Structures are given as C-alpha cells and as structure tokens.
Structure 1
C-alpha cells in the first residue's frame, strides 16, 4: 500500500536564545509577520509563528530554546529559494544595507548561493532555482546527481 500523500511543509521551527531579538531580526531581514504567540503559564511569550513573504502557506516558528539554538550554531537546516543569480545579488545588497555579514555569491552544486547567519549563528542559505550549468560533482563538498530507482 503506498504512503498517503503530503500537502507541503506546514512550518519550520527555529530554536533561538533571545526571542525578542530574533523576532526583530527576522522581521527586519525578511519581513516576518507574526500571526500567533505562545506564552508560558506565567504569560512570558517563548514562541511565535508567522509568515515570511514568498513562502506561500509554509509558516516560520521561532521558539526560545537556548540549548537547541547552541546545538544548531553553524548548521544550515533551512535553505530559502530565490529565482536566479540577480535575486541572490539583490539579497546580498539588502544584507549590506542592514550591516549583516554574508558570503560572496557562490557557484554551488546546482545554482547560486548566498550564506549568512541569524543572531544565534544558524546558517541561512538563499539558493537559486535557476541552475548555472557547471558540473562541480567532482569537487569535495559539492553534490552529485543520483539516478532515481526505477
């Protein structure tokens, strides 16, 4: 019996050490719009969920969890899509105006890539749907295509 179908990604939850700081950063950088807050029993808000423009129905959640945030530092669990190289370059310029350090535009495995960190050091990737056409499959750390089983 085949598995039931999925309807997309409902939300992505990112652990943070300081919710107000991270919320403000995601609002400034991405235009994050909070739709719900999650208070503890004492009324302290420890989590929020909302929309990032361009993600459709997929929501972003930020949740205070210092231990998990420390464990994710330097990791890249979230790759956000942009259409092409010009879009990556526009994001680099946007980050420059905000004073946020970022990588140069990278010719990655398939498309172009921009890497930068959130306030807790989580690596965020902006990756293009457009492909550059170069074959980097022989380079260490780069991906190679795999034939799907028939």
Structure 2
C-alpha cells in the first residue's frame, strides 16, 4: 500500500538559532541605538533605567540566539551601559561589585531569553511531531 505524504524540503521541527556573530553584531548596534534613544529622552539620568532597558534588550536578543552567544551579548551591553549610563560618562571603569552585578544581570537576561525560546520551540515541536495528535484533532471537528 502506498501512503501519500506532502513533500516538504528540509522541514525542521525546531528553528535553527541565529549565528553567534550576527547576534553579537545586533547587540552592538542595538545597544548603541538604545543608549542613544535613552540619552535623547533623559533615560540616562538613572543608571537603573538604562540597566533595565539593556536587560530587556539582552533577553530579546537571546530569543533567536544560541546559549553560547549570551556572554558576548552581556559584555557588549555592559560596555555601553558602563560607558554612557554610569558616571563618569564616556569612560570605561570597573567599579568592582556593582559592575559584576550588572554583568551578571545582563548575562542572566540573555540566558533567560534563550531558555524561554528553547522551551517554546520544544513545546511547538512536540505538538508537531507527536504521532496521533493530528488524528485526534481531525476526529473532534467531525
């Protein structure tokens, strides 16, 4: 007996993550633009506002990325945070525990974004490739 199936070229149940250098380039350009916008609207008056915005951006960048891209994203975001949102402006300086906490928050945000994307992709793939679910759905509609 011949079973007819639709032909799909290289269908993957889980999307391929974006290459790490592209994620780092996006982190550089996006952090630069985010800090510029925050500076224009007065958001750099408090480094906490800039830290929250860059953490949200790092989590957003983590969605299409691999886990190994997270440290680079965190460091790039920290460079812009340290240079433009933490006094003295325009200078990179390591202040010890506060900077370590900032880097770890940015790293956690990037890893959290990647983890959330992996869980969502895995659940979607499970629904797509689990045998018998399509037949159950067809039976309900009749």
Give the TM-score normalised by the residue count of structure 1: 0.22
Larger Rg: 2
Structure with the bigger RCO (C-alpha within 8 Å, sep 6+) is 2
Q: Larger strand proportion, structure 1 or 2?
A: 1
Give the TM-score normalised by the residue count of structure 2: 0.23
